[in-house]
Amino acid sequence: MKNYLMILIVISSINCFSQKMPIKNWTPLFNGKNLSGWKQLNGKASFNVVNNEIVGTTKVGEPNSFLATEKDYGDFILELEIFNVGGTNSGIQFRSESKEDYMNGRVHGYQMEVDPSDRAWSGGVYDEARRKWLYTLELNPTAKSAFNQNGWNKLRIEAIGNTLRTWINGIPTANVVDNMTAKGFIALQVHSVGNNKTEEGKQIRWRNINIQTENLKPSKPDQINVVNLIPNDLSAQEKSNGYSLLFDGKNVDQWRGAYKSEFPAKGWEIKNGELSVVRADGSESTNGGDIVTKKDYGAFELKFDFKLSEGANSGVKYFVTENEGNKGSAIGLEYQILDDEKHPDAKLGRNGNRTLGSLYDLITSDKIPASLKKVGEWNQGIIRVSPDNKVQYWLNGYKILEFERGSKIFSDLVAISKYKDWPNFGMALKGHILLQDHGDKVSFRSLKIKENK
């Protein structure tokens, strides 16, 4: 009898380990026995229950397949474990939808990525069947090693208000602020493998799927980058990370005209939370003129949203001193803003070093198709300057350029550029940040800065 009781205790312990009992305030979404409370959407990859786990198996010729909760969730904290046995792409959908009038019912919405490739973007946030990548792990490279390719991983998603945060094995991986979708289902993804028969039959396993929906307590702020998609908004974590707004959507009290004491009386427009250059004749600084920050900056990180009109030209300059007495635009290092297809400047310079995202007339940006948006859509740019003179340019979550001020390579490039006659070009210890008036309509918003020390 004692031996029989010991066997029951061991079996009970094993079951508790594989499907842990939820702690207080947690509700299980999976009962460990069947798929009650779930429904399959889109593709026909298989989902089965085996040993208290949900097992998804890839199937050739099927699109992305999703096992979705029948219930929708708005604010929640979700924890679950995943073992990507086959090493195939997967993800956890949340605040997601499937509607007949949207791509014939295709699942769309936020996804916490599970990426076993060398890219290692597990924990990033992808907008399935909508805007694509919202948060790549290039923005948080230290988290690339968080995912265990050969065993179980604990995933956590916090969706509270407009803040969406993710963790893998206790390591923060992404932080997105967005208000596109406030509520939707949660779903487990088996990614399409196309017609590649070598990928058929690979498995993803999930267990211990638990959720909180009441009395939610968000995790403490950390130091990872934030992607904030709400115009002119500064999230709690951005504030904690040291950012402040240079433009709040209404006031330009931190700006003035270049070579002027006041903000231009014409040529710039504030409307719908946007700061825009008024379209003129396409000439450089002949209408309202450039505007600069009243304060000057040394090492800093500047985030800015920008939107091009067709054929437009503009730029964001920095380390602007206004000491040159230049006619036209003030002198400084420049993050080029350009419609590469329609503006002739894209074909000037050397090897494309006047195209979008380039260090103007010096270094060509290393853009990839995924980093590009259509003209008329909003882009997110970042200029990051470290105290040791390292500079990075980012475009829509992708690093597109990197250089060092004062290096031999930098000096050699200046010597063959249009700036060759300016003494110590780009080497000021501090300078103003400038938004360029090039006579074309270009709009800015969400201008945020952090001083790096």
Digit-coded pLDDT (tens) for 350-362: 999 999 999 999 9
| 125 token code pair | 């946030």
Give the DSSP H or E segment for 334.
Answer: strand 333-338
Residue at 299 is within a domain: yes
> What was the pLDDT predicted at 14?
41
Residue at 254 is within a domain: yes
The SS3 call for residue 38 is strand
Residues 248 and 207 in one domain: no
Q: For residues 48 and 200, what is the distance between their CA atoms, to the nearest angstrom?
A: 16
Residue at 106 is within a domain: yes
Per the DSSP assignment, residues forming a β-bridge with 160 are 163
Q: 6 pLDDT exceeds 60? A: no
Residues 431 and 379 in one domain: yes
For residue 174, CA distances in Å to 154, 404, 438 come to: 15, 28, 36
Pairwise pLDDT comparison (20 vs 421), residue with the higher score: 421
Residues 173 and 254 in one domain: no
Q: For residues 190 and 117, what is the distance between their CA atoms, to the nearest angstrom?
A: 15
Residue 276 phi, psi dihedral angles, 5° rounding: -125, 145
* String of DSSP letters for 91-156: EEEEEEE--TTTGGG--EEEEEEE--STT--TT-EEEETTTEEEE-TTSSGGGGG-S-TTS-EEEE
Residue at 236 is within a domain: no
Residues 160 and 284 in one domain: no
Lowest mean pLDDT among 12-21, 192-201, 227-236, 238-247: 12-21
Give the DSSP H or E segment for 53.
Answer: strand 53-57
Q: Which amino acid is at 442?
A: V
> What was the pLDDT predicted at 272?
96
Residues 171 and 289 in one domain: no
Residues 389 and 261 in one domain: yes
Residue at 331 is within a domain: yes
Q: For residues 298 and 318, what is the distance between their CA atoms, to the nearest angstrom?
A: 9
Residues 30 and 127 in one domain: yes
Tens digits of per-residue pLDDT, 61-106? 999 999 999 999 999 999 999 999 888 899 999 999 999 999 999 9
Residue at 116 is within a domain: yes
Residues 184 and 62 in one domain: yes
Residues 293 and 247 in one domain: yes
**Which among 194, 212, 230 is the end of a domain?**
212
Residues 301 and 185 in one domain: no
Q: For residues 263 and 256, what is the distance between their CA atoms, to the nearest angstrom?
A: 4
Overall domain count for the chain: 2
Check if the beta carbon of residue 222 is closer than 8 Å to that of residue 237: yes
**Which among 193, 212, 231 is the end of a domain?**
212
The SS3 call for residue 410 is helix
Tens digits of per-residue pLDDT, 9-22? 444 444 444 444 44
Residue at 12 is within a domain: no
Read off the CATH number of the domain in which 79 is found: 2.60.120.560
Domain that holds residue 125: 23-212
Tens digits of per-residue pLDDT, 260-279? 999 999 999 999 999 999 98
Per the DSSP assignment, residues forming a β-bridge with 56 are 47, 204
**Which among 212, 234, 257 is the end of a domain?**
212
Residues 268 and 389 in one domain: yes
How far, rounded to the nearest angstrom, does the alpha carbon of residue 180 sit from its chain's CA centroid?
A: 15
Residues 385 and 311 in one domain: yes
Residue at 325 is within a domain: yes
